[in-house]
């Protein structure tokens, strides 16, 4: 049967419509727009998920969970080194917090003790951007609220958060003991604040009075890179710790002491000032000959302004680490991976030839030289032509995280020990190395995609 005129006309119009390019182009454009919208949503979802994972990975204490997060990030689509690094350093999701003082009760240090801490939030706090943090530390027998209230007006004018930790009752009446446990408590307090507030890890500072001044020196010396600046007020450096002063490269120091304070403390601070200037550390110090163990409140405003202007250098071109302790082995992109034997041990007897014939000052100098000779030291400097030169004393193995500023991983990297070449090769980066270097330091700005470990002759 032949089709009717009506059938032919309908088929003709249908066929002609399909042959016309305009409706087809519209369909393609619509499909493309829908695909782009889905991809945009998917990309946003991936970025949000990546941010949550990185935040938990960086600040969590659970190593098993950290390994699970590494695997999950490996499985995320379209995630590369550049994207992970950019998201790692971007502000993380934090809840809004009202201005004022917040009291925290925290289990810190792993010994079942609970600590009380305080955080003062300035007006205008916005969790969408990163904020500097000032830690304060009280003196022996003091409390956390006094230093907090003293610092709050200065920090508010500078647009900073202030936090203060109350020492546990068992230690409150004791002086600073320079122990790993005390330092761990301070580090965990900082991490607890970073979990709740948007903190710039390159702008964390510490001001302490007396015992708290000792704590400021100790934390900066034994956790290099943690603090951008310290303001120890009538605090001191134990004579043995003068050998650790190279760790303060990159840290700004504004120290105040009274010349009528304990003679041993004043002498150690004076020795430290001389050595810090020799090392090229950013140091400003005052020993007021007319004052003793004072609070120096008249120095607080310029100290806050001076320290607050410092931003910890990102992957600096020159760095050093000095240590005789296994838990003190990394400073940013440089680490001691193996020590030589016969390092100095605090408290151990040091034999000094001819000491019986020496005067008091000569004995003191000989003892300081013996401590420094028994301290492992590692220094590194970025040179032209993609080279890194290291010098070492009592170090068997070294680990270098790459790339510091001035090093291009697209080109061969040469490592020199003095003038001797140890290695020259291309070094490939990975997301896993990037993550692990950041987690080890608990710092997104100490994330390096590659590393090389070398034995030293």
Helices (H), 210-324: 211-222, 263-279, 300-308
Judge if 366 and 438 occupy the same domain. Answer: yes
Residues 166 and 196 in one domain: yes
Report yes or no on 313 lying in a domain: no
Quote the pTM value.
0.88
- The CATH number assigned to the domain holding 273 equals 3.40.50.1820
Q: Please indicate, yes or no, whether residues 291 and 437 belong to a single structural domain of this protein.
A: no
Could you tell me if residue 3 is inside a domain? no
Looking at 255, 280, 308, the residue that finishes a domain is 308
Domain count for the chain = 3
First to last CA, the chain: 99
Nearest to 252 by CA among 278, 274, 220: 220
**Residue 260 DSSP one-character state:** T
Residues 355/366, Cβ–Cβ less than 8 Å: yes
Domain end among 262, 277, 308: 308
Q: How far apart are CA 302 and CA 154, in angstroms?
A: 10
One domain for residues 285 and 418: no
Question: Looking at the predicted structure, is the pLDDT value of residue 429 above 60?
Answer: yes
Instruction: Identify whether residues 364 and 260 lie together within a single domain.
Output: no
| pLDDT tops 60 at residue 215 | yes
User: In terms of Cα–Cα distance, which of 284, 287, 291, 279 is closest to 247?
Assistant: 279
**Domain final residue, candidates 308, 342, 371:** 308
pLDDT tens digit sequence for 21-69? 555 565 555 555 444 443 444 777 888 999 999 999 999 889 999 999 9
Regarding whether 276 and 138 lie in a shared domain, the answer is yes
| Best CA proximity match to 395, nearest among 340, 358, 454 | 340
**Three-state SS across 349-393?**
CCCCCCHHHCCHHHHHHHHHHHHHHCCEEEEEEEECCCEEEEEEE
pLDDT at 31: 52
User: What percentage of the chain reaches a pLDDT higher than 70?
Assistant: 90
Q: Would you tell me the crossing angle of helices 431-441 and 81-89 to the nearest 10 degrees?
A: 20
Domain for residue 379, yes or no? Answer: yes
85, part of any domain: no
- Is 4 inside any structural domain? no
Question: Has residue 5 been placed in a domain?
Answer: no
User: Would the pLDDT of 8 be above 50?
Assistant: no
Domain that holds residue 382: 318-455
Tell me if 8 is assigned to some domain: no
pLDDT value of residue 107: 85
Give residue-wise pLDDT tens across range 434-457: 999 999 999 999 999 999 999 999
Phi first, then psi, for residue 282 (nearest 5°) are -75, 90
Q: How far is CA 285 from CA 155, 256, 276, in A?
A: 21, 6, 10
- SS3 per residue for 61-128: CCHHHHHHHHHHHHHCCCCCHHHHHHHHHCCCCCCCCCCEEEEEEEECCCCCCEEEEEEEECCCCCCC
Give 161's strand partners.
Answer: 133
d(CA 215, CA 219): 6
């Amino acid at each position: 049967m032949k089709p009717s005129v009506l059938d032919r006309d309908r088929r003709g119009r249908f066929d002609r419509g399909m042959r016309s390019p305009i409706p087809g182009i519209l369909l393609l454009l619509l499909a493309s727009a829908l695909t782009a919208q889905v991809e945009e949503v998917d990309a946003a979802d991936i970025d949000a998920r990546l941010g949550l994972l990185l935040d938990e990975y960086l600040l969590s204490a659970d190593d098993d969970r950290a390994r699970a997060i590494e695997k999950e990030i490996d499985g995320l689509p379209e995630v590369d080194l550049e994207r992970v690094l950019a998201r790692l350093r971007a502000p993380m999701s934090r809840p809004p917090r009202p201005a004022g003082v917040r009291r925290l009760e925290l289990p810190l240090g792993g010994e079942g003790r609970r600590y009380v801490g305080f955080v003062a939030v300035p007006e205008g706090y916005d969790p969408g951007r990163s904020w500097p943090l000032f830690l304060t530390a009280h003196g022996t027998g003091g409390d956390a609220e006094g230093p907090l209230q003293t610092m709050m007006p200065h920090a508010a004018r500078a647009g900073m958060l202030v936090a203060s930790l109350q020492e546990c009752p068992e230690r409150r009446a004791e002086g600073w003991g320079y122990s790993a446990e005390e330092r761990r408590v301070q580090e965990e307090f900082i991490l607890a604040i970073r979990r709740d507030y948007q903190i710039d890890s390159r702008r964390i500072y510490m001001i302490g009075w007396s015992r708290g001044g000792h704590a400021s020196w100790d934390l900066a010396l034994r956790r290099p890179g943690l603090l951008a600046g310290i303001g120890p007020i009538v605090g001191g450096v134990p004579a043995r710790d003068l050998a650790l002063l190279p760790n303060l490269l990159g840290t700004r120091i504004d120290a105040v002491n009274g010349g009528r304070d304990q003679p041993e403390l004043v002498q150690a601070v004076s020795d430290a000032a001389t050595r810090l200037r020799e090392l090229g550390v950013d140091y400003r110090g005052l020993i007021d000959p007319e004052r003793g163990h004072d609070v120096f409140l008249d120095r607080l405003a310029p100290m806050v302004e001076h320290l607050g202007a410092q931003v910890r250098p990102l992957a600096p071109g020159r760095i050093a680490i000095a240590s005789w302790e296994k838990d003190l082995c990394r400073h940013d992109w440089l680490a001691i991976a193996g020590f030589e034997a016969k390092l100095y041990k605090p408290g151990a007897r040091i034999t000094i030839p001819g000491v019986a014939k020496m005067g008091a000052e000569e004995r003191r100098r000989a003892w300081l030289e013996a401590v420094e000779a028994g301290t492992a030291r590692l220094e590194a400097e970025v040179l032209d032509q993609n080279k890194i030169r290291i010098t070492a004393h009592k170090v068997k193995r070294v680990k270098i995280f790459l790339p510091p500023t001035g090093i291009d991983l697209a080109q061969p990297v040469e490592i020199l020990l003095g003038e001797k070449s140890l290695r020259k090769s291309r070094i490939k980066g990975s997301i896993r190395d990037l993550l692990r270097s950041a987690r080890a330091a608990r710092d997104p700005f100490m994330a390096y995609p590659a590393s090389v470990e070398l034995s030293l002759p």
